[in-house]
Amino acid sequence: MISFNQKTKVFTLSTKNTTYAFGILGDKLLTHIYWGKKLKNEINENWADDFVWRSHSAFDYGDYSTNYIPLEYPQYGGGDSRICAFSARFSDGSRVTKADFKSFEILDAKPDIEGLPSVYAENGDNVQTLVVTLHDDLKNLDILLYYSVFEDFDAITRSVKIINSGEKMQIRSVLSASVDFFGAGESDIIHLDGSWARERFVTRQKIEGGNISVESGTGVSSSYYNPFIAVCDRTTTELSGNAYGFGFVYSGNFVAGCEKNTYDTVRAYMGINPREFEWVLENGQSFSSPEVILAYSPEGLSGMSRIFHKIIRERVCKGKFRDIERYALINNWEATYFDISEEKIVNIAKTAKKIGIDTMVLDDGWFGNRVDDKTGLGDWVENPEILPNGIDGLCKKINDLGMNFGLWFEPEMVSPNSNLYKLHPDWIIHTKGRMPSKIRHQYTLDLSRKDVCDYVENAVGAILKKANIGYVKWDMNRSMSEVGSAFQVSERQGEVMHRYMLGLYSILKNLNAKFPNVLFEACASGGARFDCGILQFMPQVWTSDDTDAVERVKIQYGTSFIYPYASMGCHVSACPNHQLGRTTPFDMRCNVAIPGQFGFELDLNNCTEDELKTAKKAVEDYRRLGEVFHKGDLYRISSPFDCDVSVNEFVSEDKNTVLVCIYPKTSTVASKDEYLKLAGLDETAVYECNGKLYGGDYLMNKGIHYINDREYKSVILEFKKK
Catalytic residue IDs: 475, 545
**Alpha-carbon distance 110 to 102, whole Å?**
22
Contact assessment for residue 227 and residue 531, using Cβ atoms and an 8 Å cutoff: yes
Based on C-alpha coordinates, what's the Rg of the chain?
A: 26
Burial bucket for residue 632 (CB in 10 Å: 0-12, 13-18, 19+)? buried
Number of neighbouring beta carbons within 10 Å of residue 235: 10
Q: What are phi and psi of 458, to 5 degrees?
A: -70, -35
Contact assessment for residue 158 and residue 149, using Cβ atoms and an 8 Å cutoff: no
Closest CA to 393 of 377, 408, 382: 382
Question: In Å, what is the CA distance from 131 to each residue of 128, 370, 393, 525?
Answer: 10, 51, 54, 39
The SS3 call for residue 696 is helix
Contact assessment for residue 689 and residue 717, using Cβ atoms and an 8 Å cutoff: yes
Give the β-pairing of 29-37 and 18-25. antiparallel
CA 64 to chain centre: 38
The SS3 call for residue 126 is coil
Contact assessment for residue 66 and residue 59, using Cβ atoms and an 8 Å cutoff: yes
**Alpha-carbon distance 679 to 568, whole Å?**
23
The beta-carbon contacts of 642-646 under 8 Å, at least 24 apart in sequence, are: 644/708, 645/674, 645/676, 645/706, 645/708, 646/553, 646/554, 646/557
**Alpha-carbon distance 436 to 438, whole Å?**
6
Burial bucket for residue 693 (CB in 10 Å: 0-12, 13-18, 19+)? exposed
Peptide bond connecting 576 to the previous residue in cis, omega within 30 degrees of 0: yes
Which H or E run includes 162? strand 155-164
Question: In Å, what is the CA distance from 349 to each residue of 333, 567, 597, 687?
Answer: 13, 24, 18, 40
Closest CA to 630 of 644, 645, 615, 650: 650
**Alpha-carbon distance 258 to 241, whole Å?**
19
Q: What are phi and psi of 465, to 5 degrees?
A: -80, -20
Number of neighbouring beta carbons within 10 Å of residue 46: 8
First to last CA, the chain: 39
Axis crossing angle, helix 390-400 with helix 342-354, rounded to the nearest 10: 20
The SS3 call for residue 197 is coil
**Alpha-carbon distance 567 to 626, whole Å?**
12
**Alpha-carbon distance 393 to 388, whole Å?**
8
Q: What are phi and psi of 181, to 5 degrees?
A: -95, 100
Q: Which amino acid is at 351?
A: T
Question: In Å, what is the CA distance from 214 to each residue of 194, 271, 419?
Answer: 11, 11, 39
**Alpha-carbon distance 397 to 418, whole Å?**
29
Tell whether the torsion through CA atoms of 700, 702, 704 and 709 is positive or negative: positive
The SS3 call for residue 618 is helix
Report the half-sphere exposure of 532 (CA within 13 A, side-chain side): 32
Q: List, as one string, the DSSP characters of 319-356.
A: STTTTS----EEE-HHHHTT---HHHHHHHHHHHHHTT
334 Cβ neighbours under 8 A, 6+ residues apart: 547, 573, 574, 578, 601, 602
Contact assessment for residue 309 and residue 250, using Cβ atoms and an 8 Å cutoff: no
